[in-house]
Amino acid sequence: MEIQLRLEEEKDYKLVEELTREAFWNVHFPGCDEHLIIHNLRKAKEFIKALDFVAIYDNKIAGNIVYTETKVKDNDKEYSTLTFGPVSVLPEYQNNGIGSELIDHTLKISKEMGYKAVIIYGDPEYYKRFGFKASKEYNITNKDKKYPAALLVLELYPNALNGIKGIFDEGTAYEIDEKEMEEFEKNFNKKEKMRTKTQERFMEIANRYL
């Protein structure tokens, strides 16, 4: 079945938040907060509407990807980069190439827009297929000046980051307020929070440094 991609529209917002919640529920921790993240990202000044795509599969919205503009800071110098996420695919449609289509399509557009690199937090084993490498290879750290295994970098063209190093700053757009999360969750059908094997792997990656 063919995957079709288009820009997200305002009428899609609630549906995309629901599919994001379904995609991440109990994956990283009991429950999830990615649906609130995407709700807030759309209102952030760093949000890039031109890279907010949905995937249509089986005649329904089955996936979504969003991007924000981020920075690498080197003392008084700042370099513009991109971050994507959440990348959401409904559980029943996962492993059909939807996530890969969304990523490949938007990376191509990102390059055409003139960006140098994309920096994310993610599973190294999954994202290496797109060319992402450990941030340590580029001398790019987190705010604690460490190299988390999950901090990954993709140059959008060869040697795009030559001469660029420093601290990755994703801003405040991805921060979550627990009280806001509690209120936001009331807008959705109740789901059971559980411990899962995926959470163990997530914590292992999140707590590993290079």
Say how many Å lie between the first and final Cα of the chain, rounded.
Answer: 41
Please check whether residue 133 lies inside any domain of the structure: yes
Structural domain total, the chain: 1
Residue 120 lies in a domain: yes
pLDDT of residue 30 exceeding 80, the answer is yes
| pLDDT one-digit tens code per residue, 106-148 | 999 999 999 999 999 999 999 999 999 999 999 999 999 999 9
In a domain, 15, yes or no: yes
Tell me what pLDDT residue 1 has: 76
pLDDT of 198 higher than 80? yes
Q: Quick check: is 32 in a domain?
A: yes
* Per-residue pLDDT band at 183 (split at 50, 70, 90): very high
For the entire predicted model, the pTM comes to: 0.96
Residue 87 lies in a domain: yes
Report the share of the chain in percent with pLDDT over 90. 99
Which residue has tokens 């801003």?
Answer: 171
CATH assignment at residue 16? 3.40.630.30
Q: Which of these, 206, 59, 62, 60, lies nearest to 142 by C-alpha position?
A: 206
Distance CA(204)–CA(195), nearest Å, equals 15
The answer to the question of residue 81 being in a domain is yes
Domain contains 63:
yes
**Which residues lie below 8 Å from residue 28, measured CB to CB, with a gap of 6+?**
198, 199, 202
Range of the structural domain that residue 110 is part of: 4-171+196-205
The number of C-alpha atoms within 13 Å of 61 and in the hemisphere containing its C-beta is 21
Is residue 190 assigned to a domain?
A: no
HSE-up of residue 19 (Cα within 13 Å, Cβ side): 24
